[in-house]
Chain A
Amino acid sequence: MEIARNAPRLTAREAGLVACRNCARVWTPDHDRCERCGSRLMSRDAGSIQRVWAWWIAGMTCYIPANIYPMLVTDTLTHESASTIVGGAVEIANHGSYGIAAIILIASVLIPVGKFIAIAFLAVTARRGSGVPPEKRQHLYEIVEFIGRWSMIDVFVVAILSALVQLSSVASIHPGPAALTFALSVIFTMLSAQSFDSRLIWDKARARRIAARHKKDD
């Protein structure tokens, strides 16, 4: 194993093979589809970065109105109030529930914005290479993939509240237009993250390392 550590690790592509990203089986390059699971085989997904950006832009476009328009419209006996994502969190904080306000702010502001930045960073560095080690970037990608779905929590809260709080004239809650655009934004960003071929992170890093080694040899 010690010898193996020093030798460069072989990838499926360098071995002249194509790996299935779905079931991890390898095939000779003449296969179009994985015979085990039926997924389309691509040594590297050439259109990956383009699709990442397309979904990314779609997600960003939806995220802007999601913050401008109200998420929730509350009718009570005395008044009608509409609150945006940030406005709703501030309101809750004023009532003293700082914990919940923090959850909402983290789930619907910090995480979505963080995700946009992280995906953009991954897409740019997959092409250009980066000083950030590939292990770190792979880890970042896994976090983005894992956390993306959890942003839907806000949409579900709106759904639950609108279904539950229907007390005729006393109090009723309706979803605002931002609920739709926010949900779309979350879905588009999930698709953007899914389009990313994480193997690109490693190819670039490897090419850089090999180039550095050659330079040292000269």
Chain B
Amino acid sequence: MTEVTAGATALGRPLEDLIACPSCDALYVARMPETGGRAVCDRCHTVLIAPKRRAGLRIIALTVAVLILVISAVFFPFLEIHRLGLGNRASIIDTATAFSSGPMAILGLATLFMIVIVPLIRMILILYVLTPVVFDRPPWPQARRFFRWSQDLKPWAMAEIFAIGCAVALVKVADLAQIGFGPAFWMFSALVVIVLFNDNYLCTWSVWKSLETPRD
């Protein structure tokens, strides 16, 4: 990536060739690094462009997997415990509705959003945006808005944090009762790994670039 220096005439370039670091505002002439390489802002070291080989197709495959896993994880029992002949199973929905009395209901709703609904919406938005791009079709209507939303929602999708929370909860009740893992627990664990990989593949700048170029 070429730096734009104060003396250079790089500003004569069309604006779409330039890229500004979102973190520190440094201006560069954008140049696609080799696949697998990264273009990094050399002032603040924010990664600006990081294209991956066949990223689009991989992301779509992983996203479909996540959709299936989230939907099934919601309905299967998640964890179960036994003590003195008494037992209880909890699904993810039970977990979110555990905060059900009075003002706690707000917290239950927020929990449901953060561990199921927001990750689900993000996945659907990303599928909607990327599918036409990967198959070399013009973007579907509203694709840019939906991609922006998927980026805005990113910090609020907390499925992976919930999964680590399960581990902590298990240790906490270990001496209180016997614990069993339901099928949903394993689905959720798989989901977490996939989500982490998925975010790693997504180069937002490349996506924006492909949404910008008219493809007809």
Contact = CB atoms under 8 A, between A and B. Distances in A.
B72 interface: no
Contacts, number: 224
Size range of the chain B interface in the assembly: 35 or more
Contacts of A10: 4-6, 26-27
A134 interface: yes
Interface stretch (B52-60, B170-178, B190-198): B170-178
B162 to A, nearest CB: 5
Given A167-B81, A170-B83, A9 B172 contact: no
B169 A161 contact: yes
Interface in B86-126: 86-88, 90, 94-99, 103-104, 106-108, 110-111, 114-115
Interface residues of A, number: 72
A81 interface: no
A24 B26 contact: no
Given A92-B172, A165-B177, A171-B176, A150 B161 contact: yes
Interface string A32-62: 0000111100000000000000000000000
A211 interface: no
Q: Would you list the 8 A-B pairs with minimal beta carbon distance, nearest first?
A: A19-B20, A156-B165, A162-B98, A12-B20, A163-B98, A7-B5, A163-B90, A160-B169
Interface of A: 1, 3-4, 7-15, 17, 19-28, 36-39, 76, 92, 95, 97, 100, 103-104, 134-135, 138, 145, 148-150, 152-168, 170-171, 175, 179-180, 183, 187, 190, 194, 198-199, 201-203
6 contacts: A11-B24, A20-B20, A37-B147, A37-B208, A152-B161, A156-B111
